[in-house]
Amino acid sequence: MTQTPLSERIKLVLFGKRNAGKSSLINTIAEKPVAIVSAYAGTTTDPVSFPMELLPLGPVVFVDTAGLDDEGELGHLRKQKTLERLRLADVGIFVTPAHEPLSPEEKEILGTFMKTHRPLLIVFTFYDGNLHPSKQELTIHPWAGVDNLTGRGKEEVKKRLIEMKDLIPQEPGLLDGLVQEGDFFLLVVPIDSAAPKGRLILPQVETIRELLDRNCGVMVVKANELKIFYNKLGIKPSLVITDSQAFHQVAKDLPADQKLTSFSILMAKKKGDLLPFIESLRYFSHFPQNGKVLILEACSHHRQPDDIGTVKIPRLFHERVEPTATFAWKKHVASSEEIEDFHGVIMCGGCMVTRRQYEYTMSLIQQKNIPLLNYGLFLAWVNGLLPRAIEMFPEVYERYRELYRQ
């Protein structure tokens, strides 16, 4: 990997009415034509993203959106997309023409975003040093004025965003609470038909980088070579981390007292909360006949014959949980109504989405009181590796023991 993935970037979402200058602002900041610009209202129909490094804030992604005063059936759909992006924003950038009065639509959406208590930046476009009287009150918030034709003011926008650094929650590290300087970790990385050619997948890369940043040692082996290399080690690894699909083989090749977990479990802890998954196990243990399971996998990839989401998990579910269960698949859930007919949900680790998005998806499922599991915890459970795979997380481990008397 040569770039920070979008899921790890701070999301700066531009919003406002049509022809407010949002797309022009993106191009001004990017110093190149990223978004299509036109005098015709409604040119931006789908969100457009522009990633960049905004130091010392770090890796960010600017997201251009359709105007919130869009009209008609298509306009309604565009507005829904805009609201969806805004709901997941780390910082909202309200873009409004300096010389025009504040419209009712602008007041409404601005008020809605302010209720989230997330950082807000006001950007006045077409700015020549003057503001319409109705917009003077907006200057109580951090603001900047920009002339997109000349680029004047773009550095002020960047400066204001950088000043918000301490207001933006940072995602926890993948290994927070598990690592001390000088620890040695062993990573088990299967190289199978689903492995991308010439590189590792994101959770594996993140784990290696984080261990190096924390001055730890790390060794990477394939699943079929684990036993050979483990027996050659002069020290016991602080933790072995495996791809969840190899849980059964890896556990068989390791001593019973060797701490073991999976990339998917670590990622789900980083992106959300493991406790709801643990508490749902009792419901999956008594899954109803002909019950419906939703598999949620956020990333897009070409499906292989042994794909984890479409093949392996359904097969294991039929073998070890409920043979009559039926399955459906989604990459995204926008509302709780989409999932109300399901008896259970199994989510991926969420490496391709932000923590805010992962938590939001979990909240939609919990609103309907639908049991949910994570890929890694499901595979640990059906392979008889609980509570072993969670014993390094004291709160989660104790909750498991409390619920299941272990």
Q: What is the CATH number of the domain that holds 201?
A: 3.40.50.11420
* Residue recorded with tokens 């499901």: 378
Would you state the pLDDT for residue 381? 97
Would you state the pLDDT for residue 46? 54
In a domain, 132, yes or no: yes
Domain identity same for 251 and 279: no
Mean pLDDT of 2-31: 86
**1 has a pLDDT exceeding 60:** no
CATH number of residue 349's parent domain:
3.40.50.11410
Domain identity same for 253 and 345: no
Domain boundary among 248, 265, 282: 265
Would you state the pLDDT for residue 195? 55
Domain identity same for 23 and 152: yes
Amino acid identity at 332: H
**45 has a pLDDT exceeding 60:** no
CA pair distance 181, 261, nearest whole angstrom: 20
Domain identity same for 226 and 302: no
Would you state the pLDDT for residue 80? 79
In a domain, 131, yes or no: yes
Higher pLDDT, 335 or 287: 287
Mean pLDDT of 13-39: 80
Would you state the pLDDT for residue 198? 57
Question: Which range among 45-49, 149-153, 194-198, 371-375 has the greatest average pLDDT?
Answer: 371-375
* Residue recorded with tokens 């919003």: 15
Mean pLDDT of 59-81: 77
Domain boundary among 230, 265, 300: 265
Higher pLDDT, 133 or 301: 133
Domain boundary among 221, 245, 265: 265
CA pair distance 189, 201, nearest whole angstrom: 9
CATH number of residue 70's parent domain:
3.40.50.300
In a domain, 172, yes or no: no
Sheet of strand 260-262: strand arrangement:
217-221, 184-188, 239-242, 260-262
Would you state the pLDDT for residue 70? 65
288 falls in which pLDDT band (50, 70, 90)? very high
Domain identity same for 50 and 116: yes
Identify the burial level of 84 via C-beta atoms within 10 angstroms of its C-beta, where 0-12 means exposed, 13-18 middle and 19 or more buried: middle
Domain identity same for 275 and 252: no
Domain identity same for 77 and 216: no
Mean pLDDT of 381-399: 96
Cite the beta strand spans of 257-352 per DSSP E: 260-262, 292-296, 326-330, 344-347
CA pair distance 330, 347, nearest whole angstrom: 10
**275 has a pLDDT exceeding 80:** yes
**218 has a pLDDT exceeding 50:** yes
* Residue recorded with tokens 């008609």: 72
CA distances from 324 to 293, 318, 339, 386 (A): 11, 7, 19, 24
Q: Which of 31-40, 56-65, 291-300 has the lowest mean pLDDT?
A: 31-40
In a domain, 253, yes or no: yes
Domain span at residue 291 reads 271-404
Predicted TM-score (pTM) of this structure:
0.83
Contact 328, 292 (CB under 8 A): yes
In a domain, 121, yes or no: yes
Q: What is the pLDDT of residues 126-181, one digit of tens each?
A: 999 999 999 999 999 999 999 988 999 999 999 999 999 999 988 889 999 999 99
Would you state the pLDDT for residue 66? 83
Percent of the chain with pLDDT over 70: 90
In a domain, 178, yes or no: no
Domain identity same for 325 and 193: no
In a domain, 202, yes or no: yes
> Average pLDDT, whole number, for the chain?
89
**43 has a pLDDT exceeding 60:** no
**35 has a pLDDT exceeding 70:** no
Mean pLDDT of 358-376: 94
Domain identity same for 317 and 384: yes
Q: How many domains does the chain have?
A: 3
In a domain, 86, yes or no: yes
Would you state the pLDDT for residue 84? 86
**49 has a pLDDT exceeding 60:** yes
**304 has a pLDDT exceeding 80:** no
**193 has a pLDDT exceeding 60:** no
Query: Which residues lie below 8 Å from residue 89, measured CB to CB, with a gap of 6+?
Result: 11, 12, 13, 63, 113, 118
Terminal Cα-to-Cα distance of the chain (whole angstroms): 41
Domain identity same for 29 and 132: yes
Domain identity same for 193 and 156: no
Domain identity same for 320 and 283: yes
